């Protein structure tokens, strides 16, 4: 898994930072993309990346402020114009369906793919499928705003070929059955249990992506033991009163969330346009004084989601 930042600024577009949007690459066989927020000109930002709209499967909207949703109608239309026919699901606060439907109807935009919109009104499990569990909680912002916790289920362990060879098991289709943990009857009549030839499962990764928020205990819960936490840092530490007034966080407050949650990596985004490129080092220094493994995103920056050796607990 990895994440690409398409817009890392707060409120309005700036020369160096567009408004909010980021893409989570699941890096599976289908190269699936999940998009989080879709500020103005997100589709323009995508043109500078390898991201393909037809690979986009889900869009998560944290809240309904314009810098997080104004790019959505255009992106939905372009996905259709480019020939995508696979379903797209959008999760967002109450009102997101009305915004999308009105925009598409007024502009006469017809989508050639199925669009599903699921509105969120409170803390809940969004879905639990074969590969991922996604939960959401309401944060502390001027409008209803949600954070998202993405838990990848454990991946199957590898087939232990050294044990297969020691047991004189022939190659061929039987190996695929063993890899699935099935019991197999060999040509010589022996019965073997595939589970005995599979290594330990690979622990899934946890990514927490937070919307705009003041310092929040719910953010800490969402981020518990996460491989990567993405947290807004609209203001520097000396603007903590301003951050509170406008329902945002400082660099240090974001770092406190990462520290208290036991997260491994923190990436800061949603940076106010008052801070220029030369200010980034100071912002980073403030956060790292609390949580060392902190980075600040820039538009088009990509971060791998690192492996973490957490105490083993299956989430399969």
Q: How far is CA 99 from CA 36, 74, 192, 244, in A?
A: 17, 12, 57, 28
Q: Which long-range contacts (CB under 8 A, 24 or more apart) does 183-191 make?
A: none
CA 177 to chain CA centroid, Å, is 33
- Report DSSP letters for 266-282, one per residue: EEEE-B-TTS-GGGHHH
- Provide the token pair at 256: 């406190």
User: 3-class SS at 160?
Assistant: coil
Laid out side by side, the sheet with 206-209 consists of: 124-128, 132-138, 146-152, 206-209, 228-232, 265-269, 294-296
CA 313 to chain CA centroid, Å, is 21
Active site residues: 67
CA 102 to chain CA centroid, Å, is 27
User: 3-class SS at 141?
Assistant: coil
């Amino acid at each position: 898994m990895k994440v690409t930042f398409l817009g890392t600024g707060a409120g309005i577009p700036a020369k160096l930072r567009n408004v909010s949007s980021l893409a989570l690459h699941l890096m599976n066989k289908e190269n699936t993309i999940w998009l989080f927020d879709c500020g103005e000109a997100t589709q323009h930002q995508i043109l500078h990346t390898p991201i393909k709209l037809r690979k986009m499967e889900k869009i998560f909207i944290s809240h309904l402020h314009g810098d997080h949703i104004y790019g959505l109608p255009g992106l939905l239309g372009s996905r259709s114009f480019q020939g995508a026919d696979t379903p797209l699901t959008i999760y967002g606060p109450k009102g997101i369906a009305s915004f999308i439907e009105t925009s598409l109807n007024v502009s006469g935009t017809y989508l050639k793919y199925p669009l599903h919109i699921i509105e969120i009104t409170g803390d809940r499990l969004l879905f639990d499928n074969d590969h991922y569990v996604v939960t959401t909680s309401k944060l502390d912002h001027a409008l209803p705003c949600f954070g998202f916790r993405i838990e990848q289920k454990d991946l199957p362990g590898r087939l232990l070929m050294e044990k297969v060879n020691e047991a004189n098991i022939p190659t061929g289709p039987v190996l695929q059955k063993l890899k699935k943990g099935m019991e197999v009857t060999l040509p010589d009549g022996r019965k073997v249990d595939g589970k005995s030839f599979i290594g330990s499962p690979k622990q899934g990764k946890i990514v927490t992506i937070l919307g705009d928020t003041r310092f929040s205990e719910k953010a800490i819960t969402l981020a518990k033991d996460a491989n990567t936490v993405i947290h807004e840092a609209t203001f520097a530490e000396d603007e903590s009163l301003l951050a509170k007034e406008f329902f945002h966080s400082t660099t240090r407050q974001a770092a406190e969330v990462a520290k208290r949650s036991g997260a491994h990596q923190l990436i800061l985004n949603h940076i106010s346009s008052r801070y220029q490129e030369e200010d980034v080092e100071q912002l980073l220094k403030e956060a790292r004084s609390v949580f060392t493994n902190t980075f600040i995103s820039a538009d088009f920056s990509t971060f791998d989601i690192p492996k973490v050796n957490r105490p083993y607990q299956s989430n399969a």
